[in-house]
Structure 1
């Protein structure tokens, strides 16, 4: 399979690099062309547009910020559909919502293009190390066909149901990440107020029942004062907004997620959205 990647940011670039090492990467595209230069030096074709990329590959992976960006890459001027041939597969690995995923699938089907929604979790560290967890919604036979692609940069790859279920699973995941991060930040705040040895606090949190992916990924960065993003606060705020929109439609109460959304909204309002999600400590 010839794979093309649209979006070479914090996550997309290392994922594309793993595909290159696996001999699967045929083309890349990024709106800021400088981000494609490392791939051009490796002999990977740098497309002039999503349409140009689509003409050259069998599978298009999209890893951009939000649903409108996906929509633009697919259906905008010189979008994927302008270069698509019947049988092309589009895999949206961005995070948005089940509703957007189903909408993309329906519109792409009109062009004979197949679709999977396959968001990931594991942050920048997981992308660099090739250990991402991937949640895939869509046709199971197509999922099985694309397993070699997913396994190039993923350690755990799970088919979770039909189109839209990948995004649904990711939103569940994001709520848990957000609440784990709040717990970590507030625990550290109390520990510092009590005068506890923070290194010993970390030792306990890394080994006891409180340990979590958030603690493993972000506590070391917090202790060093490193607030750079492995996953941007603005993106988590966006994901939580999608989750709460669905919760409201279903008329279910998610008070923890509602609190998390308000806290991450405050981060963005204070100009901290480009920092990592663990920089939530700054608004305290």
Structure 2
């Protein structure tokens, strides 16, 4: 299968490189041309538009920031739809909402184009190492056809059901991720005031019942003051907004998620949205 990859950011660049290393013929596109340089050095074709990606691919993957970006890539001027043909498979690996996924699928189906929503979790580390968890919504037979591509990028691949269910699983994941980060930030904030040694706190949290990916991967960064993103704070804020929109439609109260979103709103208001999600500790530093 010829694979086209659109969006070579923190996650997308590593994911596309894993596909290349797995032996799939690849063509890539990114709005900022400098992000394509590592691929050009490997003689991987660089497209000038998403339209060109579609024309030269059997499967087109997009990994962009939000639903409006997916809209632009798929349906905008020189978008995928302009170069698409019947039988093309489009996979949106960005995070947005079940509602958007179903909308994209319906519109692409009019052109005979298959669609899967397949958001991921695992951060920049998982993208680099090919150990992402991938949640896929859409037709099972299409999922089976492209599963080898997913296996190049991820370790755990879950077919979640119909279109939109991949996004729903991702939003549920982000609910836990956000509240978990909140818990770690609160523990660190209290430990600082109480005079507790951070290394000892890390030992306890990372070996006992409180252990988690957030503790293992992000807490050491928080302790060192390294706030470079594995996943941007502004992106988690966006995801939590979608969680609450979905919960409101279903009349499900999520007070913990609502509080977490407000704290990320504060973080973004401080001008730190492009830093990592673990930069939440700075909000607690201010509050303390």
In structure 2, the residue matched to 1:20 is 20
Q: What is the alpha-carbon root mean square deviation over aligned residues?
A: 0.7
TM-score by length of 2: 0.98
Contact 1:16 1:25 in 2 (8 A): no
- Give yes or no for the alignment of 1:280 onto 2:270: no
What is the Cα deviation at residue 26 of structure 1? 1.7
User: What is the CA–CA distance in structure 2 between the aligned matches of 1:239 and 1:276, rounded to whole Å?
Assistant: 14
In structure 2, the residue matched to 1:112 is 112
In structure 1, the residue matched to 2:30 is 30
Q: Deviations over 1:76-96 (max 9, x none)?
A: 000001101111000000000
In structure 2, the residue matched to 1:49 is 49
In structure 1, the residue matched to 2:179 is 179
In structure 1, the residue matched to 2:230 is 230
What is the Cα deviation at residue 239 of structure 1? 0.4
User: What is the CA–CA distance in structure 2 between the aligned matches of 1:26 and 1:126, rounded to whole Å?
Assistant: 20
What is the Cα deviation at residue 171 of structure 1? 0.3
User: What is the CA–CA distance in structure 1 between the aligned matches of 2:106 and 2:40, rounded to whole Å?
Assistant: 34
In structure 1, the residue matched to 2:261 is 261
User: What is the CA–CA distance in structure 2 between the aligned matches of 1:146 and 1:53, rounded to whole Å?
Assistant: 17
User: What is the CA–CA distance in structure 1 between the aligned matches of 2:140 and 2:233, rounded to whole Å?
Assistant: 33
Residue 181 and residue 2 in structure 1: after superposition, are their counterparts in 2 closer, same or farther (change >3 A)? same
User: What is the CA–CA distance in structure 1 between the aligned matches of 2:147 and 2:262, rounded to whole Å?
Assistant: 38
In structure 2, the residue matched to 1:60 is 60
User: What is the CA–CA distance in structure 2 between the aligned matches of 1:9 and 1:97, rounded to whole Å?
Assistant: 20
What is the Cα deviation at residue 194 of structure 1? 1.1
SS at match of 2:86: coil
SS at match of 1:168: helix
SS at match of 1:245: helix
The 10-residue stretch of structure 1 (216-225 or 75-84) with the greater mean CA deviation from structure 2:
216-225
SS at match of 2:271: coil
Q: How is 1:118-133 mapped onto 2 (pairs within 5 angstroms)?
A: 118-133=118-133
User: What is the CA–CA distance in structure 1 between the aligned matches of 2:269 and 2:206, rounded to whole Å?
Assistant: 32
User: What is the CA–CA distance in structure 2 between the aligned matches of 1:161 and 1:204, rounded to whole Å?
Assistant: 39
Q: Deviations over 1:257-284 (max 9, x none)?
A: 0001101111111111001000001112
Contact 1:26 1:56 in 2 (8 A): no
TM-score by length of 1: 0.99
What is the Cα deviation at residue 25 of structure 1? 4.0
- Give yes or no for the alignment of 1:149 onto 2:185: no
What is the Cα deviation at residue 191 of structure 1? 1.1
User: What is the CA–CA distance in structure 2 between the aligned matches of 1:16 and 1:162, rounded to whole Å?
Assistant: 25
Q: How many residues align?
A: 284
In structure 2, the residue matched to 1:11 is 11
Q: Which ranges in structure 2 are unaligned for 5 or more consecutive residues?
A: none
User: What is the CA–CA distance in structure 2 between the aligned matches of 1:56 and 1:153, rounded to whole Å?
Assistant: 21
SS at match of 2:257: helix
What is the Cα deviation at residue 181 of structure 1? 0.2
User: What is the CA–CA distance in structure 2 between the aligned matches of 1:187 and 1:107, rounded to whole Å?
Assistant: 46
